[in-house]
A = this chain, B = another copy of it.
Amino acid sequence: MQVVILCGGSGTRLWPVSRSLYPKQFVKIFGEHSLFQKTILRNASLASSFSVVINQDQYFMGLDQAEETGVAANRKFILEPTGRNTAPAIALAALAARPDEVLLVVPSDHLIDKQSDYEEAVRKAEELAIKGKLVTFGIKPGYAETGYGYIESNGLEVKSFKEKPDAKTAEEYVRAGNYFWNSGMFCMKAGVFLEELQILAPDIFESCLRAFTNAKSDTALRISLEDMKAIRSESIDYAVMEKSKKVNVIPADIGWSDLGSFDSLYDTLPKDKEGNTVSQNVIHISSKNNLVIGGKRLISTIDVNDLIIVDTADALVIAQKGSTQKVKELVGLVKKHNPEMTEVHTTAHRPWGTYTILEENAGYKVKQITVRPGAKLSYQYHHHRSEHWIVVRGIASITIDDKSFELKANESTYIPKEAKHRLANLQNDELVIIEAQVGEYLGEDDIVRLQDDYKRN
């Protein structure tokens, strides 16, 4: 069986923790592993191979996080230049598989608590998939949620798919007992899915086939932007599942949560005896049932209950519990005035490591740059800024115009405007430099890449 991990989501419901270029599946909210990594680990014993459908901008983050898990299974990345919802993403993964291969399709941003129940449900689904079924997983509803679609079942048969219900209808669904939350997980043979897609949504099938055929394959399968744009955006539910006669549903009680809001995050995080989530660097005085997500800063509460407090380097959100659906509205407002703040953190992830903006003012910008062992930034120059580099940890290998040299901690150098330069870490330990940029224009787009290990030029 091959696990297909859908990684293209860029939801902003957990903003400011998640940003469109650092979506929630990659955030390490639960300690050691991100939700994406948890997804890999959860399926490690079930699958011989993985394919990851991911936005090309997140490829290196996904690759790094996959490597961090230590799961050595055969791994393939399919890079989308832009998202087209789940039907095309799954079609591309199916085209890259053998037709008789069983695919277990899973989102990368959900949480599943009950591993053995999950494995059991997957094994049942696999049996049905082998028999030619398109299997969906129906989550036993814990309560009358109005934010999900429901699947009405009759045993393994699907009677109907239901849109998000109102509160009264949701209660009826829960009482009836044969309605399940639509989890977005599927199991089926690649060939069976493609045949159904060809019948039920032939335009999507054709445009995906063309995109797949034209794709460049090196370390990953790269779909061209032109081909991707030509594909109609559609969910697998609308395109196939709601129309196909081959659909089965496996009821699953697997401790599932989609972490669609800070409210559901609160429910899943460990809490102390006052009901506050457990966090470092937080002092609660007479405060109960609060979710606090923080970073470096000390956070203290006094006599407050049922609050969602989310603190990042550049944005702080304080919401009443139960109101976190309005984060979406907030993100819309932020986007108007400061779109960059919805896209990236002050710490940005790059294929070679990370940088953090420490200070930004008219005429200068200060960054802390961390380069991972063995990584190289692109060979580049800038039209508008000079740069000062001070090595504060590790050893930097530096090229400036015709000169190559090493700098160790407590040494510095200067890169004038227009000088071609490159920074690399050829050691086995992390390299950290402090960079002060000076110039009239300091935008990230003032960069001319002459060579790049990560094909960004």
List chain A positions with a Cβ less than 8 A from chain B: 283, 285-286, 294, 296-304, 307-309, 311, 313-320, 322-324, 326-327, 329-330, 333-334, 338, 341, 356, 358-359, 361, 363-364, 366, 368, 386, 388, 390, 392-393, 409-410, 412, 414, 432, 434, 436, 438
Q: Which residues of B contact A409 (CB under 8 A)?
A: 363-364, 438
Q: Which of B303, B318, B356, B412 contacts A302 (CB 8 A)?
A: B318
- B392/A436 in contact, CB under 8 A: yes
- Cα–Cα, bound, A314→B296 (Å): 8
With both chains docked as a complex, state the minimum distance between the C-beta of A347 and any C-beta of chain B, in angstroms.
Answer: 11
- B301/A318 in contact, CB under 8 A: yes
A285-B330, A434-B436, A438-B409 are known contacts. Are A302 and B324 too (CB-CB below 8 A)? yes
- Cα–Cα, bound, A341→B361 (Å): 25
The main secondary structure of chain A at its interface with chain B is: strand
If A300-B330, A361-B393, A386-B410 are given as contacts, then 19 extra A-B residue pairs at C-beta distance below 8 Å, sorted by A number, are A285-B330, A294-B316, A296-B314, A298-B314, A299-B316, A300-B316, A302-B320, A302-B330, A303-B322, A303-B323, A304-B318, A304-B320, A358-B359, A358-B366, A359-B434, A364-B393, A364-B434, A392-B438, A434-B436
- B334/A363 in contact, CB under 8 A: no
Q: Which of A283, A358, A409, A434 has the most CB of B within 10 A?
A: A434
- A410/B438 in contact, CB under 8 A: yes
Q: Which residue of B lies closest to A341 (CB)?
A: B298
With both chains docked as a complex, state the minimum distance between the C-beta of A456 and any C-beta of chain B, in angstroms.
Answer: 27
Question: Can you show 25 pairs from A to B with CB atoms below 8 A apart?
Answer: A286-B326, A294-B316, A297-B316, A298-B316, A299-B318, A300-B317, A300-B330, A301-B319, A302-B320, A302-B324, A302-B330, A303-B323, A304-B307, A304-B319, A356-B359, A358-B358, A358-B366, A361-B432, A364-B392, A364-B393, A364-B409, A364-B432, A386-B410, A392-B438, A412-B436
- B302/A307 in contact, CB under 8 A: no
Q: Which residue of B lies closest to A319 (CB)?
A: B302
- Cα–Cα, bound, A323→B287 (Å): 11
- A297/B314 in contact, CB under 8 A: yes
- Cα–Cα, bound, A315→B281 (Å): 10
- Cα–Cα, bound, A221→B315 (Å): 46
Q: Which residue of B lies closest to A410 (CB)?
A: B438
- Cα–Cα, bound, A329→B302 (Å): 10
